[in-house]
Structure 1
């Protein structure tokens, strides 16, 4: 990892942590007011200047329960490449319902620690995945993507 990449990754982690405590709200993207997991990713990567502005909204809160289309992965695939082992600043996605539909920003690789807008606690939080029964459940298959490894 070169110095520029290390600085960018640190900016992503710092930006994600600024959202901690923001209430969970579907389709919202206002720090301190409300955000969901997808818009958290958008805001962090767009606001740090790493991605050009884009907006995947509108989407229903329960789209992942009724569709098999990997809609969430679509906007990640366009901007990142899948990696086996995440580093701070990378994106983690978890399977919910039929699709990968929950995303987070990795803040630490070992143990895997993430910042995410988490419906279960109704806010943005930073937590170790292994300490959460839902996220560590094997049926919540997870994948990792890196902005810095894109093709």
Structure 2
């Protein structure tokens, strides 16, 4: 069980599990490896399937809620389970602003330069990429925020 692992080992498991999803098609609201997943359910599956977070399901949610509302729905799910950190480490969560709210997330696989695994609708799949190479995510107004399940050292 992951509870017996060190933080370093647990973070490595999170990164490995996130990478296992690479190539899974993007599908809003789905959470089936190899079949379909969106960015929110990718985070849920990775952290639940590694045993770090008890099972929960944030669905249903409309695909375009972030375009029409100001409430930080996605951050609400994170803030009850994580803490915000200034400097991410592998296995942490990155959130970026899309539309009116923080509504796109991924799992950090490298902090400098920032690389993440995320289910990205323009790519139509789960991909791993440096944020600096993604024209949408690298824009300054996206203002990435980072969250961690682990306490500061």
With normalisation by structure 1, the TM-score equals: 0.96
Identify the match of residue 64 of structure 2 among 62, 65, 76: 62
**2:108 equivalent among 96, 103, 106:** 106
Per the alignment, residue 19 of structure 2 pairs with 17
What pairs up with 1:2-151 in 2 under 5 angstroms? 4-149=6-151
* Structure 1 contact 80–149 (Cα < 8 Å) conserved: no
Shift of 1:149: 2.5
1:139 shift after superposition? 1.1
CA distance in 2, matches of 1:42, 1:100: 16
Q: Secondary structure at the match of 1:139?
A: helix
Unaligned runs of 5+ in 2: none
Aligned residues: 148
TM superposition shift of 1:141? 1.2
Unaligned runs of 5+ in 1: none
Work out whether residues 115 and 126 of structure 1, in 8 Å CA contact, stay in contact via their aligned partners in 2: yes
Say whether the 8 Å CA contact 1:22–1:35 is kept in structure 2. yes
For the residues of structure 2 that align with 1:100 and 1:76, how far apart are their CA atoms?
11
Q: What is the root-mean-square deviation of aligned Cα atoms in Å?
A: 1.0
Deviation, 1:44, is 0.2
Structure 1 counterpart SS, 2:140 = coil
**TM, length-normalised to structure 2:** 0.95
Per-residue deviation, 1:120: 1.2
Cα distance in 1, alignment partners of residues 75 and 27 from structure 2: 20
